[in-house]
Amino acid sequence: MFIGHWAPAFAAGAVSSESPRLGTLFVAAQLVDWAFMVFFMVGLEDARIVPGITVMNPMDLHHMPYTHSLLGTAVFAALFALVVGWSLRSAVAAAVAGLVVASHWFLDLLVHRPDLTLAGGSEKLGLGLWNQPLIEIPLELGITIGAFAWYMRATKGPVGPPLILLAVMLVFQAISWFAPQPTEYSIALPLTALFAFSVVTALAFWVGRTRWHKRQVGLAVASFAR
């Protein structure tokens, strides 16, 4: 799953006026993948290219105990929640941010082959929807566009920035789905992923500065718009 991971970020931005801004929520949604790409490049976690290992993704993600175990994801969620709660002085914002981080593992559970763990052990979990593109593609598009529509209904502001964000997300997703799959590892793989995360997240920060929740009024809106 790629852009589907940002669906909880849109939903979190819609659900409460106390939620962090959209850029922060986008960081939360892909935080463990940011960490995985860095850990992968420095050798703390490992993956390899195995063409055909799933229909939609050639990566054998065989060693991800810190970022893609349920326990590891929970630690990332708790730490991120603490940072957000401290910086925004809001328990609600902290809880929302932590839940968005945690959502990553459960969405991965749907699409990954059995390569996720509960606590880094030998038992591997994954429902394997990457082998069912006729299910995975509409599911990922559906949750992303549905959450985006909810965010748009729950917030006010110019429509241009969020539409640009959604368009870029869909372009990156189309490249991920339909471009030729790599047949061997190169450093370009994690760097390309980090580039895509960076572009989308930067756009989300831009969107977050242009929109505010409909429940925010008066000084709250003025503060948000600055």
Check residue 215 and give its pLDDT: 86
Higher pLDDT, 184 or 81: 81
- Residue ranges of domains in the chain: 3-225
Q: How confident is the model at residue 226 (pLDDT cuts 50, 70, 90)?
A: very low
Residues in the chain: 226
Residue written as tokens 């809106």? Answer: 221
- Bridge partners of 69, per DSSP, are 117
DSSP state of 47: E
CB atoms within 10 A of CB 143: 20
Q: What are phi and psi of 10, to 5 degrees?
A: -60, -45
Q: What is the pLDDT of residues 5-24, one digit of tens each?
A: 999 999 999 999 999 999 99
Which of 209, 200, 212 minimizes the C-alpha distance to 176? 200
Residue linked to tokens 């175990």: 69
Query: How sure is the predictor about 218, in pLDDT bands with cuts at 50, 70 and 90?
Result: low
Q: How far is the C-alpha of 174 from the C-alpha of 127, rounded, in Å?
A: 22
**Cα dihedral value 40, 43, 45, 50, nearest 10:** 70
Pairing of strands 155-156, 59-63: unpaired
- The residue assigned the tokens 């590891």 is 72
- Asked whether the beta carbons of 101 and 73 are under 8 A apart, the reply is yes
- 104: amino acid identity, one letter: H
Q: Is the pLDDT of residue 219 over 50?
A: no
**15 and 96 in contact (C-beta within 8 Å)?**
yes
For every residue of 64-98, DSSP letters joined together read -TTTSBHHHHHHHHHHHHHHHHHHHT-HHHHHHHH
Percentage of the chain beyond pLDDT 90 is 90
pLDDT in tens, 141-184: 999 999 999 999 999 999 999 999 999 999 999 999 999 988 98
DSSP H or E run through 188: helix 188-210
**Token pair of 116, please?**
């996720």
| Structure tokens, 142 | 């559906």
pLDDT, one tens digit per residue, over 101-130 is: 999 999 999 999 999 999 999 999 999 999
Per residue in 32-50, pLDDT (tens digit) is: 999 999 999 999 999 999 9
Name residue, tokens 């993948």: 33
Euclidean distance between the first and final Cα of the chain, in Å?
Answer: 34
